[in-house]
Amino acid sequence: MDIDSVIHLGSQSLYMVLMLSLPMLVVALAVGVMISLFQAVTQIQEMTLTFVPKIIAVFLCLVFVAPWLTETMVDFTREIILSIPTITH
């Protein structure tokens, strides 16, 4: 296994992590902005108001995106396992 293969595999893995985490991060960002706007308009500065809705929104997003996440991870894992013979020599 040469250095180019390791770099390619590492970059594919990092891309996969970013792609899989992106839906939850976008939802958390959107909910955070909406809560910040709500706090600015109403001048309610409660700390739990920022965390609880984000956690619920990210959990719901995870529930809805779970089939795609699982399929993507299984495909990537299958691709890695099938490429083992070409990597090892």
Q: Say which residues have a Cβ less than 8 Å from residue 46's Cβ, sequence separation at least 6.
A: 39
From CA 33, how far away is CA 23, in angstroms rounded?
A: 16
Q: 64, 24 in Cβ contact below 8 A?
A: no
Domain ranges of the chain: 3-88
User: Taking the model in full, what pTM does it have?
Assistant: 0.80
CA distance 51 to 20: 22
Nearest to 53 by CA among 30, 31, 25: 31
DSSP 89: -
pLDDT value, residue 89: 66
Each residue's pLDDT expressed in tens, for the chain with a length of 89 residues: 788 888 988 999 999 999 999 999 999 999 999 998 988 888 888 777 788 999 999 999 999 999 999 999 999 999 999 988 887 76
Buried b (16+ CB within 10 A) or exposed e, 5-29: eeeeeeeeeeebeeebeebbeebbe
